[in-house]
Structure 1
Amino acid sequence: MMKPKSAPVNLITWRFALVCVVLVLVFVTLMARAAYLQVIEPDKARAENAKRTVRVETLTVQRGMIFDRNGKELAVSVPVVSVYADPLALDKSIAKKVLRAARKNGEDHKALALDEATLNERKIQWYAQDLRWRELADVLQIDNDKVDSRLRGNTSRRFVYLKRQVTPAVANYIRQLKLPGIHLLDESKRFYPSGEVSAHVLGFTNIDGVGIEGIEKLFENALTGAEGRRTIRKDAQGREVQVLSEEQRVEPENIELSIDLRIQAIAYKALKSAVLSYKATSGSAMVVDVTTGEVLAMVNSPSFNPNDMRDAAPYKRRNRAITDLFEPGSTLKPLAILAGLDYGAIDADDTVNTYPGWMRLGGSLVKDTRNHGEMSLREILKVSSNMGVAKISQMLPKEYMVGLYQKVGFGQDTGTLMVGESSGLFYPNRRWSDFEIATLSYGYAVSVSTAQIARLYATFGAGGISRPLTILKQEKPQEGQRVFEEEHVKAVVAMMESVFEKGGTAANVKVDGYRAAGKTGTSEKAVAGGYGDEYVGYFAGVAPVSDPRLAVVVMVNEPGDDIYYGGQTSGPAFAEIMSSALRILNVAPDKGRVARVSEDKNDA
């Protein structure tokens, strides 16, 4: 009997043992690797997993809107599209196409991929042969060379703008071109429905939506808000499976201005007409509600269109109502008379002897255009007598006179907080001569803005209560400070009605339906060494006299030709603005007269 062979059995046993050892080694290796990744260095694994599954979404916010006091949109954000390129992605796409074409033609595409110089040459040729790039340049209205430079100048870049804020039609056309490396980005653009009418108040934003001037800059933080962030995890099919974190966005605020767009438009039209009619360099006008201090209109000419900044030269963008300073001339004469009444140096029914129509103070001459003799206070304002107010000023202590001008807001901001507002040029602490006090009484030795004059006349209209001006709509009147006795203010306001009477400096100006109290002003512009031959024409006033509601100031700078008196250049605009604004506010007429301008000439 033969013994069975053991060799095959040993071979099978050895093979089985080898397989078991290999499996154990593989298992141990996997366990070791897993332990290494999970225990020793877990962050790398988490990072790799996050790259594939975690996404961060930005919760964008639109810039806040700006409204007028009646809810009319003054500034809104509209959706637009910006076009940008990824030069690196574009270069890779072209390289793939070149290599694919080489492979189809039987070339050694692997060798071509290693030959950088030849590959670059082929890519340039491929790019030049694709006419879609020329179409892209044409639809964006950009020179071909500029497009080529941005796309091919530096192929290592990942982001470069081709054009910001294109129209939806342009965006759709580019989308249909299906160009590699070209992307569309949803953005927003600021739009101003009122255009140049409210440009100086609102200001504008740059292309990135950051406020540059006006309300846009003043309330930048409130209008901007803050974007939110949402971190989520997605599966292989792109479905959201988990919200990892979420930061709520901060919604921007909407700003409601005190501006009434209806009055703003009327004021701008009247001012622009005056500036053009009298060939003036510039002008500004303001309308203030005397009961609250709210600015209902603030306009300037020349203006600009904030929706198209190509023609917005710096001199057009300046908000002259708060920045430009001039000596206000005779518009301050009511203040000088009010100072005399307030101090007790004169009474409302007193007269002042201006004979012989001139006087010398410290070697300098104060004079009227002619000798008016004995004059009542009403007549002093009616004919705008320098001698009358100068004599009153000499009855008052200098410290009181100067302090009163400071008290009504000269040398201070008006309270609007507008960007670039000037506080004027007034130095109360210096030594004042008698002549300087006299010139102060008729509007020289002090330089103020249109806004500061508007605040003064709003004080007249409010019966002697001085309030800071505000550009924001108020729920209730601002707290004010009484600076004059009401009876004295009412007396002076009644005197200012005489300006519109026959023989007055504004006899050619008639305010439709309302009794108005106003004052003309014509001041020579200061130059190096004295005064030149250029003038500034003012008209300021309040209405209706029976119960003042509005203060209006119109300034026309450097009118051309021989017509430069404030009654002629600024008076008609004042009448149009005042009467129209009162009707818009449903203020009952207190006098049945028609607004018109006669052919009579005036001297103040």
Structure 2
Amino acid sequence: MKLFNRSTSKNSVTKKAKPFIKWRFTVVCIFILLGFFGLIARAAYIQVLEPGRLIQEGDARSLRTKLMPSARGIISDRNGEQLAVSVPVQAVFANPAEIFKHGGLSDVERWHALADVLDLDRTWLLHELETKKNRRFIYLARQVSPAMANYVHKLKLPGIGLKDESRRFYPSGEVSAHLLGFTGIDGHGLDGVEKTYDGWLTGEPGRRTVRKDRYGRVVENISQKNRQPGKPLQLSIDQRIQAVAYRAAKEGVMDIPATSVSIAISDVRTGEILAMVNAPSFNPNNRNDRQPYKMRNRVITDTFEPGSTVKPFVVYTAMKHGIANEHTLIAIPQSKHFRVGSKVITDVSRVEPLATVQRILQKSSNIGVTKLSLAMPVDYILDTYRKVGFDEPSGINLIGETTGHFPNRYRWSDIERATLAYGYGLSLTPIQLLHAYTTLGAYGIKRPLSILKTERVVPGEQVLDPAIVKKVLLMIESVTDKKGGGGGWRAAVPGYRVGVKTGTAKKAIAGGYGDDYFSYTVGVAPISNPRLAIVVMVNEPKGKVFYGGAVAAPILSKVLGSALQILNVPPDADTLHKVDLDKGV
């Protein structure tokens, strides 16, 4: 008992309290205050001096911007008929991260159904989603039809969504494909009018910015910018004439047959293009039909030696400089051969021993225009060629237009001067040749050609003497006179006075000329009061008949006759057919 009491007394001994150390307390307080002021300083720095970065990071987690695509501008013809419109479609996209968050690809049948409706390989689709499971957005299909989009929506697959888009649709199909061009998957023009005027046709998409919570719910509307639709574009094309021209070109390719046929028509009073077609063509609504050889707009891209179609300008030049007039007689060898240096120039048709310049044009005499060319400086002819636009673009302002080759040399041999007079030694595009005859039909007033409907007529520049031009127009009218032996009589249009010039030229190849031909006919109508100019080019006509007067002239007659009737141009065949050239028109 004593032992217990002794132990208890020892444990109950009061321990001495530890002494208070003031400097330690002071150090601790200082560190606490430093930390507190550091936090305040850091908070002030973040909140006041540099708030942008954190705000940006916060917004990146919560702000979402939704684009609202705008419609591309409508393209229409001169009468308001729609040639290109934008239709609403949708894109199908996948969020692989969301897909694998909600069960992945376990329901294989539904995923196979998705692949089937989107015309995708089943194995490829599953593999694509599996390998990109950490991605949050991938496109599966673009510009799908409303019916397909509705089917995808009904599948109710997790992570699969729809996005609004627009798709370009061309009601005229292959008829105006080369002229209009087409757009890419992103809605921007890739060719033709669509590319040339892409900035005008493309609108500004709208933007809606919202704040979302962690569950994707919209909690705040931040801002909204309204969409600005693209501006409409009205072309100078008359779709009625365009359709007639394309049908004739397509029939020509099959009936002649030929590699291609190109046709362009202009209004000589304004320079507006009323039709521009090529056959074969392609369907711009079908991406699988876009083959390179079909897609080239040959009217503005293909160059050729113009052959006899330049002879009216040689005759004009000779008359302009007093080398010849409408009564001048030119001696033509009856052998149909004429030697120039070491070369021999040949006429296809027999011409009288003494022929007027009108007869030379009517029979397309190479010898006749050669003698005119050799009788004057070559600069006279080159100057006329320049004035009618053989050395420059037509002014049509379409992507892809070329300008051919215009000779530029200081020394000319006699044979070079001779061939220059009947269309060899230079090259043109069909649109350049049409531009020249548009100037001829406007009595020598040169205007740039236009693919847009003009609000007012461009005054133009008087580059040719109108009195002489009127005489030349009467001369080329005789080319369609069958009784008089005109080489282009197949281009005649019943009820109308038509002036044309046919041409045929071998295709140039490396080192010379091959066995293929360009055949063409170009003309103006009606001669009493010119309204239309037209060019028809047949590329590589097959068979024994290949001259322009045989293969291109009938096409011109068919198209020109329909165009004159569509435009309600009054017939003028009852007017005086032959006018004394001394009196003019």
Assess same fold via TM > 0.5.
Answer: yes
Displacement after TM superposition at 1:49 (Å): 6.5
Displacement after TM superposition at 1:85 (Å): 0.6
Task: Select between 41-50 and 151-160 the one with higher mean Cα deviation.
Answer: 41-50
Distance across 2 between alignment mates of 1:372 and 1:530:
32
Report 1:58-457 matches (<5 A): 58-94=67-103, 127-231=105-209, 243=222, 245=223, 247=225, 249-356=227-334, 357-369=336-348, 370=350, 372-457=352-437
Displacement after TM superposition at 1:228 (Å): 3.7
Q: Spell out, residue by residue over 1:491-547, the C-alpha distance to the aligned partner (whole angstroms, 9 max, x if none).
A: 010011111112111223430321101111111222333322222111110000110
Distance 1:509 1:371, change over 3 A: closer
Distance across 2 between alignment mates of 1:318 and 1:554:
16
SS of residue paired to 1:335:
helix
Q: Spell out, residue by residue over 1:408-461, the C-alpha distance to the aligned partner (whole angstroms, 9 max, x if none).
A: 111211111111111111123343222111111111111111101100110110
With normalisation by structure 1, the TM-score equals 0.83
Match of 1:500 in 2: 480
Task: Select between 307-316 and 221-230 the one with higher mean Cα deviation.
Answer: 221-230
Match of 1:582 in 2: 564
Distance across 1 between alignment mates of 2:254 and 2:325:
43
Match of 1:553 in 2: 535
Distance across 1 between alignment mates of 2:299 and 2:129:
47
Distance 1:183 1:34, change over 3 A: farther
- Give the partner amino acid of 1:472: L
Task: Select between 386-395 and 246-255 the one with higher mean Cα deviation.
Answer: 246-255
Match of 1:97 in 2: none
Displacement after TM superposition at 1:362 (Å): 2.4
Distance 1:578 1:401, change over 3 A: same
- Give the partner amino acid of 1:518: V
The equivalent position to 1:537 in structure 2, one of 512, 519, 524, is 519
Displacement after TM superposition at 1:364 (Å): 1.4
Distance across 2 between alignment mates of 1:166 and 1:37:
53
8 A contact 1:67–1:256 mirrored in 2: yes
Distance across 2 between alignment mates of 1:421 and 1:286:
14
With normalisation by structure 2, the TM-score equals 0.86
Distance across 2 between alignment mates of 1:362 and 1:81:
71
Distance 1:129 1:229, change over 3 A: closer
SS of residue paired to 1:567:
helix
SS of residue paired to 1:281:
strand
Distance across 1 between alignment mates of 2:82 and 2:190:
19
Distance 1:438 1:51, change over 3 A: closer
The equivalent position to 2:447 in structure 1, one of 467, 474, 484, is 467
Distance across 1 between alignment mates of 2:38 and 2:166:
51
Distance across 2 between alignment mates of 1:363 and 1:554:
34
Distance 1:128 1:52, change over 3 A: closer
Unaligned runs of at least 5 residues, structure 2: 1-32, 576-585
Distance across 1 between alignment mates of 2:410 and 2:391:
13
Distance across 2 between alignment mates of 1:322 and 1:332:
18
Please, what is the CA RMSD of the aligned residues? 2.5
- Give the partner amino acid of 1:365: V
SS of residue paired to 1:548:
coil
Distance 1:45 1:538, change over 3 A: closer
Match of 1:487 in 2: 467
8 A contact 2:181–2:194 mirrored in 1: yes
Aligned length: 532
SS of residue paired to 1:417:
coil
- Give the partner amino acid of 2:343: S
Distance across 1 between alignment mates of 2:372 and 2:146:
68
Report 1:42-53 matches (<5 A): 42=47, 43=51, 46=55, 50=59
- Give the partner amino acid of 1:79: P
Displacement after TM superposition at 1:371 (Å): 5.2
Displacement after TM superposition at 1:367 (Å): 2.2
Distance across 2 between alignment mates of 1:406 and 1:345:
20
Distance across 2 between alignment mates of 1:521 and 1:574:
13
Identity rate, percent:
47
Displacement after TM superposition at 1:299 (Å): 0.6
SS of residue paired to 1:515:
coil
Distance across 2 between alignment mates of 1:564 and 1:40:
87
8 A contact 1:60–1:249 mirrored in 2: yes
8 A contact 2:278–2:298 mirrored in 1: yes
Displacement after TM superposition at 1:46 (Å): 4.7
- Give the partner amino acid of 1:163: A
Displacement after TM superposition at 1:141 (Å): 1.7
- Give the partner amino acid of 1:507: W
Unaligned runs of at least 5 residues, structure 1: 1-27, 95-122, 594-604
Distance across 2 between alignment mates of 1:202 and 1:48:
46
Distance across 1 between alignment mates of 2:68 and 2:235:
28
Displacement after TM superposition at 1:32 (Å): 9.8
8 A contact 2:332–2:351 mirrored in 1: yes
Distance across 2 between alignment mates of 1:437 and 1:85:
69
Match of 2:30 in 1: none
Distance across 2 between alignment mates of 1:547 and 1:401:
27
8 A contact 1:234–1:242 mirrored in 2: no
Distance across 2 between alignment mates of 1:319 and 1:544:
28
Displacement after TM superposition at 1:143 (Å): 1.0
SS of residue paired to 1:74:
strand
SS of residue paired to 1:508:
helix
Distance 1:500 1:531, change over 3 A: same
Distance across 2 between alignment mates of 1:392 and 1:48:
82
Report 1:20-59 matches (<5 A): 39-42=44-47, 43=51, 46=55, 50=59, 54-59=63-68
Task: Select between 472-481 and 36-45 the one with higher mean Cα deviation.
Answer: 36-45
**Where in structure 1 do 4 or more consecutive aligned residues deviate above 4 Å?**
31-38, 44-55, 232-243, 245-250
SS of residue paired to 1:405:
helix
Displacement after TM superposition at 1:247 (Å): 4.8
Distance across 2 between alignment mates of 1:485 and 1:214:
35
Displacement after TM superposition at 1:250 (Å): 4.3
Distance across 2 between alignment mates of 1:129 and 1:189:
32
Q: Spell out, residue by residue over 1:202-234, the C-alpha distance to the aligned partner (whole angstroms, 9 max, x if none).
A: 111111112111111111111113224344568
Q: Spell out, residue by residue over 1:20-53, the C-alpha distance to the aligned partner (whole angstroms, 9 max, x if none).
A: xxxxxxxx9xx99997897443337755775687
Displacement after TM superposition at 1:372 (Å): 2.8
Displacement after TM superposition at 1:586 (Å): 1.5
